Amino acid sequence: MASAAKEEVIGKLTVRVVRGANLAIADPLTHTSDPYVVLQYGSQKVKTSVQKKNPNPVWNEVLQISVTNPTKPVKLEVFDEDKFTADDSMGVAEINIIDIYDAAKMDLKHASDGTRIKTIYPVGVNYLGGESHVSWKDGKVVQDLILKLKNVESGLIVLQLEWVHVPGVKL
């Protein structure tokens, strides 16, 4: 009997959750929120620390996800931490990783530092709150993103992605 093949990790995605801006007020009594960010990719789930009473939090925290399929997006959700009840959702977004993956497959050894490989515009159904650039910086493929949260009246999350090659994996 054939066992289900474990999906092969093709690379790692480092996600720097930089900050949130103009996040929803989840606690009407205190007119504030205690936000944290959860990233989910397949069965993996990673999260930032909680920023107490701050609708404009600065996390600057690095989370890492093992990527098996570059066409599968990373789901991002912001929550408000509550002591006595379930944490409230403060908006959702998705991170498309195909652009950074495609750039990681290129031979960039001779590219100059800061080279823009691709620009993604906030059109159609993506979650971008501004232009996003995939660049070659310090010998790494990085992407700066501003995500506009959905299912909520306001909120932006600023991220920086970095593709990390896994030794022995050919893209």
- From residue 80, give the alpha-carbon distance in Å to each of 34, 74, 105, 154, 164: 5, 20, 38, 14, 30
What's residue 126's pLDDT? 86
* Per-residue model confidence (pLDDT) at position 27: 83
User: Domain for residue 170, yes or no?
Assistant: no
Q: Are 89 and 37 in contact (CB under 8 A)?
A: no
Q: Identify the pLDDT of residue 163.
A: 96
CA distances from 23 to 58, 80, 118, 155 (A): 12, 10, 29, 4
**Number of folded domains in the chain?**
1
Q: Within a domain: residue 169?
A: no
CB-side neighbour CA atoms (13 Å) of 33: 23
Structural domain includes residue 139: yes
Interval 8-17 mean pLDDT: 96
Distance between CA atoms of 79 and 2, rounded to whole angstroms? 40
Kindly report, residue by residue over 29-44, the tens digit of the pLDDT: 888 999 999 999 999 9
Percent of the chain that is helix, strand, coil (3-state, to 5):
5, 45, 50
Whole-angstrom distance, CA of residue 12 vs CA of residue 77: 20
Supply the mean pLDDT for the chain.
93
**Residue 104 forms part of a structural domain:** yes
Q: CB neighbours of 76 closer than 8 A, spacing ≥ 6?
A: 37, 38, 39, 40, 92, 93, 94, 95, 147, 157, 159
pTM: 0.92
CATH number of the domain residue 141 falls in? 2.60.40.150
Q: Is the dihedral of CA 50, 56, 60, 63 positive or negative?
A: positive
What pLDDT does residue 30 have? 84
The pLDDT value given to residue 62: 98
The pLDDT, as a whole number, for residue 5 is 53
Q: How confident is the model at residue 3 (pLDDT cuts 50, 70, 90)?
A: very low
In a domain, 59, yes or no: yes
pLDDT at position 58 is 98
Give the C-alpha separation, 71 to 91, whole Å: 22
Tens digits of residue pLDDT in 121-165: 998 888 999 999 999 999 999 999 999 999 999 999 999 999 998
Tokens of 59: 């996390």
Share of the chain above pLDDT 90, in %: 82
Residue 156 lies in a domain: yes
Q: Which pLDDT does position 165 carry in this prediction?
A: 86
- Supply the range of the domain harboring residue 92: 11-164
- Over residues 72-129, the pLDDT tens digits come to 999 999 999 998 899 999 999 999 999 999 999 999 989 999 999 999 999 888 899 9
Residue 108 lies in a domain: yes
3-state secondary structure of 98: helix
Residue 74 maps to a domain: yes
